[in-house]
Amino acid sequence: MTATGAVGVAVASAPAAALELCGIDVRYGARFANRGVSLRVEPGTVHAVVGENGAGKSTLLGVAYGEVRAAAGRLVVHGREAALVGHTPARAIALGLGMVHQHFMLVPTLTVVENVILGREPRRGPLVDFSRAEAELATLAAAHGLALDPRALVETLSVGERQRVEIAKVLFRGAEVLLFDEPTAVLGPSEVGAFLRALRGLAERGKTVVLVTHKLDEVAAVADAVTVLRHGERVVSYAQGSVPAPEMIARAIIGREPPPPLMPPPVRDRGAPVLTARGLISGSSLLGVDLELRAGEILGLAGVEGNGQAELVLALARLSACAGEIVRAPGALGHIPADRHRHGLVADFTLAENLTLGRQRELSGRVTMDRARVLTHARELLARFDVRPGEPDLPVRALSGGNQQKLVVARELSRPGLTVLLCAHPTRGVDLAAADTIRRALVEARAAGVGVLLISSDLGELRALSDRIAVLVRGRIVATLARDAATEEALGALMTAARESQEPSA
Amino acid sequence: MSWDRGDSGASASSSHGGAWTALYVTLVALLVALLAASLLVIAFDESPARVFALVVAHTLGEPYGAGQALFRATTLVFTGLSVALAHRAGLFNVGAEGQLVAGSFACAALGAALPAGTPAVLALPAVLLAAAAAGGAVGAIPGVLRARFGAHEVITTIMLNFVVSGAVLFVARTWLFAPETIHTRAVVPGATIPALGLGGSAVSWAAVLALACALGVTWLLTRSRFGFELRAVGQNPDAARAGGVNVGRMTVIAMAAAGALAGLAGSGTVLGYKHYFEKGLGADAGFTGIAVALLARGNPLAVLPAALLFALLAEGGLAAGARVPREIVDVMLAVIVIVLAVAAAETRRVRASAGDGA
Amino acid sequence: MTLIETILSVGFVAQALRVTVPYALAALGGTLAERAGVVSLALEGMLLFGAFTATLGSALGGPALGALCGIVGGLLVAAVYELIVVRWRADQVVCAIAINLLVLGLTRTLLVLVWGSASSSPRVPGLGSTGTWAFVAAAAVLALALSELVRRTPWGLRLRAAGERPDALASLGVDVERVRWGAVLASGALAGLGGAWLALDVGGFSDAMSSGRGYIALAAVVSGKWRPLGATAACLLFGVAGALELNLQAEATSLPRELVQMLPYVVTLIAVSSVARGARAPSALGQPLG
C-alpha cells in the first residue's frame, strides 16, 4: 500500500507520539468506566495496557477507535489533534487507527477477501473488482507473513486464521496504529507465541501497537511500555526502558499483594466413575470422544478454543444431540455453561427465579410454585455464595458479571444429590475475588465427592485445580495427563501437535 | 415490547422502570392517535370536537352504548389475552382471528346439534369446551410447525387465518347454513349465555367469563409452575432448556392455550348474542387483540382496561360512522401500537446507555 | 379440457406469469430488506398502498403515471416503516403489523374521501397487453439484476454484511443505518410497483385488494433462502398455484369455491414449513441496531 510508506516517513521525522489520549472520562450512568485516563504511545513501539476485568482497558480502546463516546478528554494522533466529539470508526480509520476486537468483527458468511475489503471495496465500474482485491490482499499478506486463502468462507476458518483476517483488514485500510483488545484470549499457547512475534514484526516495520491484555507473561515478552489501569483510572505508566518485573506490575494492577494462588493437592484415590462417554460424535466438532470422570476428582480439559470443548459440554449436558454412549451415575448434573447469558441465566427474571430455574419441580407443589420456599432457598444461596446485592427480587440484569456468574455457580452447586458438575470457563470475565470464591467452591465440591469436569482457556487455572488433564484436539482426546506431568510445555505441545502448521512466519 | 425470544430488552413484567412511565407513554400514544384521527376527520370537513363528542356521548353517555362497548370488549379481552399469553412464551400470535372463527363456529355447530331440551349445566360446558378445543387446535398447528420445522409463527398464523376462514365457510355453506342464509341454525336455549340486559345491549355474562379468564391467566403466569416455565421459555429458551424445560412442547402448549383463549371469544358473540355463526364474524378482532396486548404490555390484568379502551373507540367509531368512515379507528389503533413500540425501544436504549452491570 | 391440458397450455403459462408478477416484485424487495437485516412483514402494506396510489395516478394520467405513483406509494410506506424501525429502532414485527393495519384503515378512509365508496374505486385505465408484458419482462430483468447486485457490487456486499454482522460493518466505518435505509426504500419501491400491477391489472382499486400477498411474498423470500432468484422461483410456484385457482374457479368445477381460494395459502404453509429448517436467515434479521 502506498499510503503506508508515506505516513511512516512522516512519523519517523516527527517527535510526536503516535497516539495520545488525555484526561478521558467515560460514564455509564453514575459509574465511571474511565476517569481522567491518559495514555501516550510512542511510534514504532508495542504499548501494553493492563488491568483487571472491568478496569476500563477495552473502554479506552473504544474511545480511541470512536466506538465509545467520551464525556471529556482529548485525542491526538501523530501530533494532530482529533475531535472526540462526533468521533466515529470512520474517522478513526481515516486517522490511521485500526482495531482488532476481542470478539472478532467478521462476517462469517462472507469470504476472507470480502471481509477484508468491506467498506473500502476496489471497484471496476459498478462492480467490486475482486481480482484487484485479491492481488492487493496477496501483496499485503506476503509483506506481513499472513497466510490466508482469500476465497475461503470465514465461518470455516480456525480462530488463529480469523485473527489473521482481522489484522489484514486493519492493514488493508493503511492503519499505522493498531489497537488489539485481548487478542490472545482465544489462542492456544503456540499460536500465542506466533502472534506475539507477529506483533513485534509490525513494530519493527514502523507500525505502532497498543495491546490490551491481562496476561503479564505476554507483557514481559513483547511490550516496550506499559500502562496500568485500575477501577477506570490510570495507576501508573512505565515508559520504554523502565518496565519493571511482572510481580511489580501485578501489584499495581490489584493495588495490594496478590492473594496466594489456590492450589489444592491432587487427590490420590479417585472414586467410582460418575460419567463415562464412549465414541461421542457430533457433526465435525466431536469425532469420537472417550472420557471417564470419577467421583471426587477434577478432570481438566485443555485445548485451543474451537476444538470441540463447547460441543462436548453441551453434549454431556444433553443440550445438543450427538451419537455415542453417555453413562451417568444416578444423581443430579450441574452445568456452569460457557455462555451464562445464553444457557445460564434469564436476564429479566429475578435472582430468586433464576436460582429456581432447573429446580422448579422441587420448589413447587403439583401445580403452584411454593413462593415461600423459593425465597428461603434464594436467600440461603445468595448469602452462602456472597452474591451482591443479595436481594432475591432484583432482576438479574442489575448484577455485575462476576455476581451473575456466582449466581449460576450457586444454583448448580446446590443441586441436591449432585454427582457430576460440568464447568466451562467458570472464572472468565470475573474479577479476582469472585474467581477465588468460585474456585474454592469447585474444590469443595470435589471434596464432597462430586466429579468435576473443568474447561478453561487459562492453563494456569487448569493446572492449579485439576487432578488430571485431558487434551482435546480437533474433536478427539489425544492424551490424559496426571497433574504432575501436565506442565505448561507438555500441554502446549499436545494442544498444537496435531494441528497443521499454518502459523505466520513473522 | 419486543416479540423476539431471548430479547432481554423486552420486559413484559414491568415491575421496575415504573408504572408512571408506562402511564405517561400510554397517554402520549393516545394523544398522538387522537391527533392523527383529528387530521383525518378534518379532511372530511368535519369538526374533530363534534365527532369525538359524538363518540363519547354514544359510548359513555347511554347504557346501550356502554353495553355495546362492553360487548366488544368481551371479544377483545379474549383475543388480547390470547396474544399476551403467546407473547409471554416468546411467540407472536397473529392468528387469533382464525382461532376465534374456529372456536365460534365449533360452539355454534355443537350448540345447534344438541338435543333441544339439553339443560344448561350440560350444554354450556360442552359448547364452551368445543370453542376452546377448536381454537386450541388451530393455535396448536403453528406451534407444531414452529417446534418441528422452524417455520416462523407470524407467517403461518396469518396463512392459517385465510385457511381457517375458508375451510369453516366451506363446511358451513355445504352442510350447516340455514337455507337461503349465511348463518347457521340457532343454538339450543340451554347453550345460550344470558344477556346482562344493559340498555338492551348485546353484552352478556360472557363478559364475566372474560374477566375470570384474565384472572386465571394472571394466576397461571405468576403462581404456577407451568407459568414459570412458560415465561422462562419466552425470555431465554436456551436457559429454559438447560433448566429442564421441554421448549418444543412448551411452544405447542402455549400456542394451543392462546388459541383456546381466542376460541372462547365465540362465547360472547355466538352464545351470548347472535346464537348462531355467520360469515364475517369476528373480523379484525385478532389484529385489535395485538394492539390490546401491546397496550397492556403482555400483562393479562392490564388487558382488561386496554380492551375496554379499544372497544369504546370501535363502538364510538360506529356512532361517528354517519359523518366519517369508522376505519379511522383502525388508523388510531395502528398509531397507538407504533408509538408504544417506539417508546419501548427508547426505554430500552436509555437503559442500555445507563449501563447494566455486565 | 382436462386439468393437465389446461396446465400445459400457453394460456396457462401466461396466466401463471401474470399472477407471479406482484409476488415476485414484492419478494425481490423483501429479499433486499431482509438481507440488510430488516423484517419485511410490511410488504403487505406497501403493496396495498402502492395499489391505491397507482389507481389514483392512472385516473389522473394513465397507466404509466399509475405505475410511477405506485412506486411512490410503496416508497412512502417504506419511509414511514424505516423511520420507525431503523431510525427509532422499534420492534420490527410489531410495527410492520401495525403499518399494515394503518395502511388498511387509511386506504379505506381515503377510498371514501376520494371516490365516495367503501368498497372500490371506479374503473381506471388498465395496462393493456403491452403494459402487461412490460411488467413481466421488468420483473424478470429485475430478478437477474438484483441477484448480481447482491452478489457482486459494493452495495450488495455491505447489504449482506448489514444483515449478518452489522457491528462488524459499523466497526469498519460504514453507516449501517444508511445501508438499511437504502434496502428498505428499494423494497418499498419494488413492492409499490407490485401493488401498481395489482390495481392496473384489474383497472381499479378495491378494499384490501392485496389480500395477504405481501405475507405470501415474504414466505417466498424465506423459501427462496433470501436469494433474489430463489425468491423469484418460489413466487413462480405461487403463481402456478394462483393460476390454478383462477382456472378452477372459472371452470365452475365441482370443487367448492372456498377450498380453491385456500390454495395459495396452503401452498405457502407447506412451503415455509418444508424449507424453513434448511434455510438460514440473516443472523441479525429483526435486530435493531445498538
Q: Is C94 on the interface with B (CB under 8 A)?
A: yes
* Chain A positions in Cβ-Cβ contact with residue C165 (cut-off 8 Å): 105-108
Task: With CB atoms and an 8 Å threshold, state whether B8 touches A369.
Answer: no
d(CA C218, CA C226): 10
The per-residue pLDDT of chain B, averaged, comes to 88
- Distance in Å, alpha carbon of B290 to nearest chain C alpha carbon: 9
B155 with C219: Cβ contact below 8 A: yes
CB contact under 8 A, A358 and B358: no
Distances (CA, A) of A399 to A231, A477, B65, B100, C140: 17, 37, 51, 43, 55
DSSP symbols for C210-259? TTTHHHHHHHHHHHTTT-HHHHHHHHHHHHHHHHHHHHHHHTT-SS-HHH
- At residue A65, the pLDDT reads 95
Residues A351 and A485 in one domain: no
Domain span holding position B166? 12-357
A96 Ramachandran zone, left/alpha/beta (phi>0; psi -120 to 50):
left
Check whether residue A362 and residue A486 sit in a common domain.
no
In one-letter notation, the amino acid at residue C189 is: A
CATH number at residue A286: 3.40.50.300
Compute and round to an integer the Cα radius of gyration of chain C. Answer: 19
CA angle, B22 then B38 then B81, to 5°: 40
Chain A to chain C, count of Cβ pairs less than 8 Å apart?
A: 66
Position C53 scores a pLDDT of 97
Instruction: Find, among C181, C186, C192, the residue nearest to C73 by Cα.
Output: C192
Backbone angles phi, psi at A235, to 5 degrees: -90, -50
CA distance B331 to B339: 12
Residue C252 has pLDDT above 80, yes or no: no
Subunits adjacent to chain B (3 or more Cβ pairs under 8 Å): A, C
Q: Tens digits of per-residue pLDDT, C90-114? A: 999 889 989 999 999 999 999 999 9
Instruction: Work out the percent of chain A whose per-residue pLDDT is above 70.
Output: 94
Please determine, for residue A500, whether its predicted confidence score (pLDDT) is greater than 50.
no
Long-range contact pairs involving A121-126 (C-beta distance under 8 Å, separation at least 24): A121/C154, A121/C157, A123/C154, A126/C153
Structural domain includes residue C252? yes
pLDDT in tens, A64-104: 999 999 999 999 999 899 989 889 999 999 999 999 998 89
Q: How far apart are CA C150 and CA C156, in angstroms?
A: 4
ipTM: 0.90
Do residues A6 and A81 share a domain?
Answer: yes
For the beta sheet containing A233-238, the strands, ordered from the edge strand earlier in sequence to the opposite edge, are: A97-100, A177-181, A208-213, A46-50, A225-230, A233-238
Place of cell 478432570: A299
Contact A398 B357 (CB under 8 A): yes
Question: How much is the average pLDDT of B269-283?
Answer: 86
C-alpha cell at C76: 412512502
Minimum Cα–Cα distance from B166: chain C residue? C258
CB contacts, 8 Å: C173 with chain A:
88-94, 119
Chain B touched by C91 (CB under 8 Å): yes
CB contact (8 A) between residue A107 and residue C170: no
C-alpha grid cell, residue C117: 365508496
- What is the pLDDT of chain A when averaged over all its residues? 87
pLDDT (average), residues B293-302: 90
CB B102 within 8 A of CB B134: yes
Q: How near does any CA of chain B get to the CA of C149, in Å?
A: 27
Paired with A48 in beta bridges are: A211, A226
| Mean pLDDT of the region B199-221 | 94
Report d(CA B26, CA B295) in Å as an integer.
Answer: 7
Rounded to 5 degrees, φ, ψ at A475 are 80, 10
For residue C255, is pLDDT > 80?
A: no
Task: Extract the C-alpha cell encoding A491.
Answer: 500441554
Query: How high is the pLDDT of residue B1?
Result: 41
Do A356 and A265 fall within a single domain? no
Instruction: Give the Cα separation of C152 and A64 in Å (integer).
Output: 33
Which residues in chain A have Cβ-Cβ distances shorter than 8 Å to B228? Answer: 353, 356, 360, 364, 369
Give the model's pLDDT for residue B182: 78
Residues in chain B: 358
Q: Give the angle subtended at the CA of A113 by the CAs of A109 and A116, to the nearest 5°.
A: 95
| Cα gap C203→C233, rounded to integer Å | 27
SS3 state of residue C117: coil
- CB distance A302 to A495 below 8 Å: yes
Quick one: average pLDDT of A445-449? Answer: 92
Are the beta carbons of B341 and C290 separated by less than 8 Å? no
Q: How far is CA A476 from the centre of its chain?
A: 23
Backbone torsions φ then ψ of C282, nearest 5 degrees: -55, 130
Query: In A273-391, where do the E strands start and end?
Result: 273-282, 286-294, 298-302, 323-328, 332-336
CA angle B243, A320, A314 (to 5 degrees): 70
Which of C34, C47, C85, C109 should one mutate to test binding to chain B, selecting the residue with the greatest count of B CBs within 10 A?
A: C109
Residues whose CB is less than 8 angstroms from the CB of residue A38 and which lie 6 or more positions away in sequence, other chains included: A20, A21, A22, A23, A24, A234
Q: Is the same domain home to A236 and A382?
A: no
Structure confidence by residue, pLDDT tens digits, B2-51 = 455 544 333 334 444 567 887 888 889 989 999 999 999 998 888 899 88
Distances (CA, A) of C3 to A184, A400, B143, C243, C244: 67, 68, 35, 12, 9
Contacts of B110 (CB under 8 A, 6+ apart): B126, B127, B130, B191
Does a structural domain hold residue B317?
yes
Q: Nearest by CB to C97, which of B44, B149, B290?
A: B290
| Structural domain includes residue B3 | no
| Domain end point (choices A234, A252, A270) | A252
- Burial of A200: CB neighbours in 10 Å, binned 0-12, 13-18, 19+: middle
Structural domain ending residue among the three candidates A415, A448, A464:
A415
Query: Does residue C288 form part of some domain?
Result: no
Check if the beta carbon of residue A37 is closer than 8 Å to that of residue A24: yes
The total of structural domains in chain B comes to: 1
Work out whether the CA dihedral A204, A205, A206, A211 comes out positive or negative.
negative
Q: Per-residue pLDDT tens for B141-162?
A: 999 999 998 888 988 998 999 9
Q: Is residue C287 part of a domain?
A: no
Kindly report the CATH number assigned to the domain that includes residue B288: 1.10.3470
Q: Are residues A223 and A288 in the same domain?
A: no
Domain that holds residue A75: 1-96+215-252
> Using the 8-state DSSP alphabet, how is residue A398 labeled?
G
Q: What is the average pLDDT across A450-461?
A: 89
Same domain (yes/no): A236, A276 = no
Who's near A340: CB < 8 A, 6+ residues apart?
Answer: A404, A405, A408
Q: What is the mean pLDDT of residues C19-25?
A: 94
How do strand A468-473 and strand A298-302 relate by DSSP bridges?
parallel
% of chain C residues with pLDDT over 90: 66
Q: What's the pTM?
A: 0.88
Q: Residue B173 above 60 pLDDT?
A: yes
**Is residue A15 very low, low, confident or very high in pLDDT (cuts 50, 70, 90)?**
low
In angstroms, how far is CA B206 from the centroid of its own chain?
14
* Same domain assignment for residues A315 and A387: no
Residue A281 falls inside a structural domain:
yes
For A36: left if phi > 0, alpha if psi spans -120 to 50, otherwise beta; the answer is left
Residues A273 and A410 in one domain: no
Which of A449-458, B12-21, B168-177, C156-165 bottoms out in mean pLDDT, i.e. has the lowest? B12-21
Give the domain CATH number at C137. Answer: 1.10.3470
Terminal C-alpha separation, chain C: 60
- B202 located within any domain: yes
Q: What is the mean pLDDT of residues A411-416?
A: 90
Report the residue of chain A nearest C162, measured CA to CA.
A107
Strands A418-424 and A451-455, by their bridges, are parallel
First to last CA, chain B: 22
Q: Is it the case that residue A270 has pLDDT exceeding 80?
A: no
State whether residue B309 is helix, strand or coil: helix
Chain C residue closest in CA terms to A128: C153
Say whether C168 and A127 touch across the interface (CB within 8 A).
no
The predicted pLDDT at position A503 comes to: 39
Measured on CA atoms in the order B120, B121, B124, B127, is the torsion positive or negative? Answer: negative
Question: How many domains, chain A?
Answer: 3
pLDDT of residue B4: 52
Do A10 and A90 fall within a single domain? yes
Beta-carbon count within 10 A of A61 CB: 26
Residue B5 lies in a domain: no
Chain A interface includes B4 (CB < 8 A): no
What CA–CA distance (Å, rounded) separates A490 from A481?
Answer: 9
One domain, residues A382 and A460: no
pLDDT at C1: 55
Indicate whether A326 and A437 sit together in one domain.
yes
**Quick check: C161 and A110 CB within 8 A?**
yes
Beta bridge partners of residue A282, listed in sequence order: A286
Q: For the stretch C66-89, what's the b/e string if a residue is b when 16 or more beta carbons lie within 10 angstroms of its beta carbon?
A: bbbbbbbbbbbbbebbbebbbebb
Domain membership flag for residue C281: no
Looking at residues A447-464, what average pLDDT do you find? 90
Contact (CB<8Å) B341/C41:
no
Which domain-ending residue is among A223, A252, A281?
A252
Nearest to C276 among B43, B151, B328 (CB): B151
Cβ atoms of C251 and C259 within 8 Å: the answer is: no
CB atoms inside a 10 Å sphere around CB C20: 26
In eight-state DSSP terms, residue C84 is I
For chain C, what is the mean pLDDT?
91
- Note whether residue C282 is domain-resident: no
Number of domains in chain C: 1
Expressed as residue numbers, the domain containing C233 is: 3-275
pLDDT score at A294: 94
A379 touches chain B (CB under 8 A): no
pLDDT digits (tens, 9 = 90+) for C114-171: 998 888 999 999 888 888 889 999 999 999 999 999 999 999 999 999 999 999 999 9
**CA-CA distance, C101 to C106, in Å (whole number)?**
8
pLDDT bin (cut points 50, 70, 90) of residue B115 is very high
